[in-house]
Amino acid sequence: MHAAVTDETETTGQLRILPANDAPFADVAAVFGTKGDPAHCWCQWFKIPGSDWRSIGDDGLRDRLEAQLATSDTGPGLLAYDGDTPVGWCAVEPRPNLVRLARSRIVTGGTAHPDFADPDIWAVTCFVVPRAYRKRGVGRALAEAAVTCARGHGARVIEGYAVDASRREKHVAAELFHGTVSMFEAAGFAEVARPSADRVIMERRLRG
């Protein structure tokens, strides 16, 4: 199953995946919901210095994502649909946009690309799939689509920061928002480092 994400909507199996900036923001908001971590983060964690995080609030974080979708043509995410129903989100964009990655011990302890200002390195940092649509391959399809999105924008490498669920005795879905090793492997990523027993730096080289 291969996904293509360009300026047009593409189909992946029973799913359609398109750049989220081509979708109504109401559909993005429907995926993030009103409860749980997604509704309190709006994929802004890696974009905001810690000193500023607590002062912004949920509404401010939501507004930031809406503004980013309205003004950027390189991410910050993809939206999956089952028919007309939005069923998943994947955050993917150039790594320099994600200021906290350079301060993450998981990332800095394993990346093969320590220049965090390099715009040719992209990152997949988050998946959001509402409970009703899990275990249907939505995350895997989004990971594949993220590769095609990054390649279409000229990225040289795309990274993911996966969770190895097999190394955790117990886990809940909320802890897997980074994506799992199996999801990334299905999208052609390979392990390049393991900064901790259950966290894996995954990489796919797109050119060069």
Report pLDDT digits (tens) over 67-126: 999 998 888 999 999 999 999 999 999 999 999 999 999 999 899 999 999 999 999 999
Partners of 205 in beta bridges: 157
- Mean pLDDT, all residues of the chain: 90
pLDDT band at 2 (very low <50, low <70, confident <90, very high): very low
What is the arithmetic mean of pLDDT over 44-67? 93
Predicted TM-score of the model (pTM) = 0.90
Return all residues near 93 (Cβ < 8 A) that are at least 6 apart.
Answer: 72, 74, 75, 76, 77, 122, 123
Interval 82-92: pLDDT, tens: 999 999 999 99
Confidence (pLDDT) at 63: 97
- Identify the burial level of 1 via C-beta atoms within 10 angstroms of its C-beta, where 0-12 means exposed, 13-18 middle and 19 or more buried: exposed
Helix, strand, or coil (residue 38) = helix
- Residue 151 pLDDT greater than 90, yes or no: yes
pLDDT band at 6 (very low <50, low <70, confident <90, very high): very low
CA separation for the pair 61, 76 (Å, rounded): 14
Confidence (pLDDT) at 5: 36
Helix, strand, coil shares, percent, the chain, to 5: 40, 25, 35
Confidence (pLDDT) at 149: 97
Q: Which CATH class is domain 10-205?
A: alpha beta
What is the arithmetic mean of pLDDT over 173-183? 87
Cα distances from 117 to residues 140, 159, 174, 183, in angstroms, run 28, 14, 30, 27
Interval 185-207: pLDDT, tens: 999 999 999 999 999 999 999 98
Confidence (pLDDT) at 153: 96
Interval 18-52: pLDDT, tens: 999 999 999 999 999 999 999 999 999 999 988 88
Helix, strand, or coil (residue 204) = strand
Confidence (pLDDT) at 159: 98
Confidence (pLDDT) at 173: 67
